Amino acid sequence: MRRGAFATRIGAIATAVGSAVGLGNIWRFPYEAGTNGGGAFLMIYLFFIAIVGIPLLCAEFAMGRDSRANAVKTFASLTGRKSMGAVGVMGIVASVLILSFYSVVAGWTIEYTIISFSRGFKSTDVETLHSLFNSSIASPAKSLFFTWLFLLINYFALARGVRKGIESLSNLLMPVLFLILIVFCVNSLMLPDAGRGLRFLFAVDFSQVSVTTVLSAMGQAFFSLSIGLGCMLTYGSYFKDSTIIPRTAVSIASLDTLVAILSGIIIFPAVFSFGMSPTAGPTLVFETLPAIFGAMAGGRILAPLFFILLFIASLTSTISMSEISISFCTEQFGWSRKKASAAVIGLSMALGGLCALSFGPLANFKICSLTVFNLFDFASSNVLLPLGGVCASLIAGWAYPRSRLAAQLSLTGNKLFSVIRFLLRYIIPLCILLIFINSL
Ligand code: PFF
């Protein structure tokens, strides 16, 4: 079977950015920073992006482009052991768990798009916004409907081959999202309690840091960069030979981090100015943004535009996570794209349904004191992705021939290569394992 390839360098970067930038930056980053003490979380997060994220992104791209195959086959062939394909299988499991809870939040963006078109957001009152959110999210019928609608849209994009169209649309629209975020930032910075919000986000107070903070910051770095589950490896397998991997990885990580920080600058000044709590959790952004739109000039027009763009950003991320399983099923079992897409989306609809109900009828159904939604989020981001990261790092550092890795990274004979390889061989695996052991 002929494998696809990205036509241009910009196309390759834009598609990988499309995977990285999504709800992880705009929804998950602020809520994780909010529940984990703000500034200290941000510092640790930046540390992980630089020391763990960028080298692993390079390694995934390099291994994918070298083997030009799905993650399971790549790990098996690079190590010469079939059993190592299990690392790829773990990534597939993680991607389905993420797809399931991510689709619930993406469903909220669809519902908020509709609300912002129809009646708009007028109130900045905490209680009113809280009940607006609850009336949509806690309603099982609505929540299921929007989660499944989002997954069905994914199915059509994946099976009908309009994926490419959505990706080019996203390439076109992401600069617009970026501009809107800047407008919102300026607006948030003019709110009465903006200073408190900024202090919360940027002032580092390490006395607040616990192992959970470190684990969460690490999980967020993996989640946001889409690494540790073979997603970027799969995208790397479609890269052209002329793509310069380290430069691409740094561009992606920088853009991704910038969007997360902008999102923090939008949310926290508003949280303090409108008297909300930064520790609200997954609902934080969906209660804060409407207050921002309600209070700002032009909010009536910008709100629907923003939610549409957020929806498209989510779609390019979910397309990338589905691609891991689809490329596996088509290449390994010889399934058609349609059949593979139906299997992946069907399974996610079942699991996503449970996640959607976690905010309503299943709110009290807990495993290890977590709702299904929170469990899927925690198990994938804080356990499976870092674990996949350890394996990918060890394979790239120890099993993958040094000269081939150097050649893929276009760093043959360069000192920087020794640094990256040292990080992959020792520092990244040790760092992740230590955090795991501590948090146990
Ligand atoms: N990086 C995406 C985001 O921040 O929204 C989420 C994601 C996409 C995670 C693809 C994992 C993945 F394979």
Q: Of 182, 193, 184, 204, whose CA–CA distance to 269 is shortest?
A: 193
27 Cα to the center of ligand 1, angstroms:
12
Residues 248/13, Cβ–Cβ less than 8 Å: yes
Q: Which two tokens stand for residue 191?
A: 């709110």
Mutation probe of ligand 1 site: the residue of 70, 255, 320 with most atoms within 8 A of C-beta:
320
At residue 52's C-alpha, the angle toward residues 87 and 45, to 5°, is: 120
Looking from the CA of residue 223, the nearest atom of ligand 1 is 9
9-439: CATH homologous superfamily?
Answer: Hydantoin permease (1.10.4160.10)
Looking from the CA of residue 324, the nearest atom of ligand 1 is 13
- 149 burial (CB, 10 Å; 0-12 / 13-18 / 19+) is middle
Atom 4, ligand 1: residue with shortest CA distance? 24
Residues 35/281, Cβ–Cβ less than 8 Å: yes
Mutation probe of ligand 1 site: the residue of 231, 316, 383 with most atoms within 8 A of C-beta:
231
Q: Which two tokens stand for residue 98?
A: 């993420």
CA distance linking residue 124 with residue 423, whole number of Å: 47
184 Cα to the center of ligand 1, angstroms:
23
Atom 9, ligand 1: residue with shortest CA distance? 226
CA distance linking residue 351 with residue 100, whole number of Å: 6
In sequence order, the 6+-apart residues with CB closer than 8 A to the CB of 297 are none
In sequence order, the 6+-apart residues with CB closer than 8 A to the CB of 207 are none
Mutation probe of ligand 1 site: the residue of 317, 380, 381, 385 with most atoms within 8 A of C-beta:
317
Q: Of 13, 91, 21, whose CA–CA distance to 313 is shortest?
A: 21
Residues 216/81, Cβ–Cβ less than 8 Å: no
Residues 233/74, Cβ–Cβ less than 8 Å: yes
CA distance linking residue 4 with residue 7, whole number of Å: 9
Mutation probe of ligand 1 site: the residue of 28, 60, 98 with most atoms within 8 A of C-beta:
98
CA distance linking residue 406 with residue 69, whole number of Å: 19
* pLDDT at 1 (0 to 100): 41
Please give the C-alpha separations between residue 206 and each of 197, 211, 318, in angstroms, as whole numbers: 18, 12, 35
**Cα–chain-centroid distance for residue 311?**
13
Residues 440/67, Cβ–Cβ less than 8 Å: no
CA distance linking residue 78 with residue 413, whole number of Å: 22
Q: For 9, list phi and psi in degrees, rounded to 5.
A: -60, -45
Looking from the CA of residue 313, the nearest atom of ligand 1 is 5
Ramachandran region of residue 161, left (φ > 0), alpha (ψ -120 to 50) or beta? left
Atom 11, ligand 1: residue with shortest CA distance? 226
128 Cα to the center of ligand 1, angstroms:
31
* pLDDT at 397 (0 to 100): 98
Mean pLDDT by 10 residues, the chain (440 residues): 58 85 97 96 98 98 95 95 96 97 97 92 84 83 96 93 77 89 95 97 93 95 97 91 94 96 97 94 92 90 93 94 92 94 97 95 94 96 96 98 97 97 98 88
Q: Of 60, 59, 65, whose CA–CA distance to 3 is shortest?
A: 65
Q: Of 169, 109, 122, whose CA–CA distance to 310 is shortest?
A: 109
User: Using a 6 Å CB cutoff, which residues line ligand 1?
Assistant: 19-20, 22-25, 95, 98, 223-224, 226, 229, 231, 317, 320-321
pTM of the model: 0.95
CA distance linking residue 86 with residue 76, whole number of Å: 8
